[in-house]
């Protein structure tokens, strides 16, 4: 009896459900149509932002397998149009690595590559494509292009003026500690001069990894993060200068920090910190005498990719650890993005990280800034009149101009009451006309180190970092409201 009642009830429910199904489907369709009307589709830029926000987390922590057997370079023209010096470098990579595919992106096909891989049929990042299309600064395009290529395909990137000294298979040291499947990226130290970290000019580039040669596996989050950092930076610069990206004006340090080694280094240190779940600073790589892996990134010693620099204990290209040789054939971009050049003392980079030379440059600049406009103009005129002579500071060492600095101790907290360095100047130095005011001041400093000595340009000298020497001169004998 009960079974019959349940059977009739089930049949009745099924019959009503059959009748209601079309109405249910129709209502769902109306709801979807309504939602599509009030929620417009994403614009390309919004879509790109979504990709940008999700890409880092969607990528695996470690890329699996071997490094792609590809060698990438970029230049104005293809290999058939290379100058002989570039042919020699390019040939070295092919000869030492016969199992690798070699490819050059040029000024004629680079945009096509970017549009193909980052356009609608690729990663759909119109923001990247638009910025690349807008760029007119060639060094910025060259830097950005290498990162784009290495993100998409990976392999080995080398600048056009880099010669292979050893096969790529030697880039991973032969040891049980290093296995290719455990390594995402291979980089090398370029500049290891942390003592200059607080220098106003040298500081930002005093600790960096080399980006004229590096290896990575495709689709690494660190490369995409670096690319996004550059895109954001370019927009910020354009907004700050109130010009389109095509018209931005960049100096040498802008390039280094925006797309060059400093930007590259910061992105890598950030990635290492994320992977290791702790802060990874340059201290991990200072005075490194053997390669190490941090967060899946193999860091080689400075000799590997940057031997023969004359600083950072970089050794020579004859070292068994030297893997490449950078010839700097294609390093003319500072001509369009100049370094800071003092009108009398030139570029501090000419010191090539020699501490005594940098200290003298800092001192000379501070003294110059303390001079009256008339004194500055006279010094500049004397420098220009002697055009063709060496800059009035030692390029290699102080003895070049007969100047000796005797350091007594670290820069004091109050330099006005505790001068720390004296100078002795030889007649050789006095004969440089542009240096005569400098020598006179140095002689006064050397002969009158006493508590009564006052600081020259306290405000200017205060900005000199702790490794720099603070210099001072005596009170003027004539009271005219300013130092002589």
Percent of the chain with pLDDT over 70: 67
Residues 418, 380 share a domain:
yes
- Residue-wise pLDDT for 296-336, tens only, equals 999 999 999 999 999 999 999 999 999 999 999 877 888 99
Of 284, 314, 335, the residue that ends a domain is 335
Of 335, 367, 386, the residue that ends a domain is 335
* pLDDT of 186 above 70: yes
Is residue 411, in this structure, part of any structural domain at all? yes
Return the DSSP state at 419: -
At 177, the pLDDT band (50, 70, 90 cuts) reads confident
Is residue 456, in this structure, part of any structural domain at all? yes
The stretch 67-93 carries a mean pLDDT of 96
Is residue 4, in this structure, part of any structural domain at all? no
Total structural domains within the chain: 3
Is residue 298, in this structure, part of any structural domain at all? yes
Residues 398, 293 share a domain:
no
At 36, the pLDDT band (50, 70, 90 cuts) reads very low
- Residue-wise pLDDT for 113-153, tens only, equals 999 999 999 999 999 999 999 999 999 999 999 999 999 99
* pLDDT of 428 above 60: no
The stretch 262-272 carries a mean pLDDT of 98
Residues 370, 320 share a domain:
no
Residues 118, 90 share a domain:
yes
The stretch 346-354 carries a mean pLDDT of 95
Residues 208, 141 share a domain:
yes
Comparing 428 with 128, the larger pLDDT belongs to 128
Residues 101, 27 share a domain:
no
Nearest to 142 by CA among 68, 270, 230, 266: 230
- Residue-wise pLDDT for 201-251, tens only, equals 999 999 999 999 999 999 999 999 999 999 999 999 999 999 999 999 999
Task: Tell me the CA distances in angstroms from 66 to 184, 217, 344, one per residue in order.
Answer: 9, 8, 53
Residues 221, 295 share a domain:
yes
* pLDDT of 427 above 90: no
**Residue given tokens 């784009």 in the structure block:** 148
* pLDDT of 445 above 80: no
CA distance 313 to 408: 26
At 339, the pLDDT band (50, 70, 90 cuts) reads very high
The stretch 15-19 carries a mean pLDDT of 55
Is residue 436, in this structure, part of any structural domain at all? yes
* pLDDT of 374 above 80: yes
Residues 60, 108 share a domain:
yes
Is 79:104 a contact under the CB 8 Å cutoff? yes
State the pLDDT at residue 471: 32
- Across 290-294, 433-437, 460-464, the highest mean pLDDT is recorded for 290-294
Of 309, 335, 361, the residue that ends a domain is 335
Cα of 355 vs its chain's centroid, Å: 22
Helices (H), 292-398: 302-306, 355-370, 373-385
Q: Which domain holds residue 381?
A: 348-473
Residues 135, 213 share a domain:
yes
Residues 110, 222 share a domain:
yes
CA distance 325 to 96: 14
Residues 353, 251 share a domain:
no
Residues 176, 156 share a domain:
yes
* pLDDT of 100 above 70: yes
At 44, the pLDDT band (50, 70, 90 cuts) reads very low
Q: What is the pTM of this model?
A: 0.73
Asked which of 11-20, 79-88, 337-346, 395-404 is least confident by mean pLDDT, the reply is 395-404
Is residue 484, in this structure, part of any structural domain at all? no
CATH of the domain at 312: 3.90.550
Cα of 220 vs its chain's centroid, Å: 18
Is 86:104 a contact under the CB 8 Å cutoff? no
């Amino acid at each position: 009896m009960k079974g019959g009642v349940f059977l009739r009830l089930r049949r009745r429910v099924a019959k009503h459900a059959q009748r209601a199904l079309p109405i249910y489907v129709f209502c769902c369709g109306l709801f979807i149509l309504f939602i599509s009307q009030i929620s417009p589709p994403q614009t390309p830029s919004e879509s790109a932002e979504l990709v940008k926000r999700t890409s880092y987390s969607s990528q695996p922590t470690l890329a699996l397998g071997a490094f792609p057997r590809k060698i990438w370079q970029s230049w104005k023209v293809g290999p058939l149009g290379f100058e002989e010096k570039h042919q020699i470098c390019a040939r070295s990579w092919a000869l030492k690595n016969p199992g690798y595919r070699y490819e050059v992106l040029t000024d004629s096909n680079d945009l096509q590559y970017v549009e193909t891989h980052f356009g609608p049929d690729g990663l759909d990042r119109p923001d990247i494509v638009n910025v690349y299309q807008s760029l007119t600064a060639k060094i910025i395009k060259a830097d950005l292009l290498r990162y784009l290529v290495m993100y998409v395909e990976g392999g080995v990137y080398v600048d056009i003026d880099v010669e292979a000294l050893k096969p790529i298979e030697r880039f991973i040291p032969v040891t049980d500690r290093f296995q290719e499947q455990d390594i995402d990226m291979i980089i090398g130290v370029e500049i290891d001069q942390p003592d200059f970290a607080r220098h106003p000019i040298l500081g930002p580039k005093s600790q960096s990894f080399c980006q004229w040669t590096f290896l990575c596996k495709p689709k690494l989050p660190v490369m995409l993060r670096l690319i996004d950092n550059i895109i954001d930076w370019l927009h910020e610069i354009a907004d700050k200068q109130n010009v389109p990206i095509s018209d931005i004006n960049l100096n040498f340090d802008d390039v280094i920090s925006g797309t060059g080694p400093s930007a590259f280094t910061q992105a890598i240190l950030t990635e290492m910190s994320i992977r290791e779940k702790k802060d990874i600073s340059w201290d991990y790589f200072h005075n490194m005498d053997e390669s190490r892996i941090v967060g899946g990134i193999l860091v080689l010693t400075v000799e590997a990719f940057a031997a023969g620099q004359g600083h950072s204990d970089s050794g020579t290209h004859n070292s068994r650890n030297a893997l490449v040789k950078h010839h700097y054939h294609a390093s003319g971009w500072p001509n369009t993005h100049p370094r800071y050049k003092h009108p009398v003392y030139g570029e501090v980079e000419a010191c090539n990280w020699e501490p005594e030379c940098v200290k003298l440059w800092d001192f000379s600049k501070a003294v110059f800034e303390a001079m009256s406009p008339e004194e500055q103009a006279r010094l500049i005129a004397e420098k220009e009149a002697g055009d063709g002579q060496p800059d009035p500071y030692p390029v290699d060492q102080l003895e070049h101009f007969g100047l000796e600095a005797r350091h007594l101790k670290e820069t004091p907290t109050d330099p006005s009451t505790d001068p720390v360095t004296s100078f002795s100047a030889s007649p050789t130095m006095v004969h440089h006309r542009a240096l005569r005011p400098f020598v006179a001041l140095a002689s006064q400093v050397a002969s009158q180190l006493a508590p009564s000595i006052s600081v020259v340009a306290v405000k200017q000298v205060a900005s000199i970092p702790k490794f720099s020497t603070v210099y001072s001169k005596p009170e003027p004998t004539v009271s005219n409201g300013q130092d002589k």
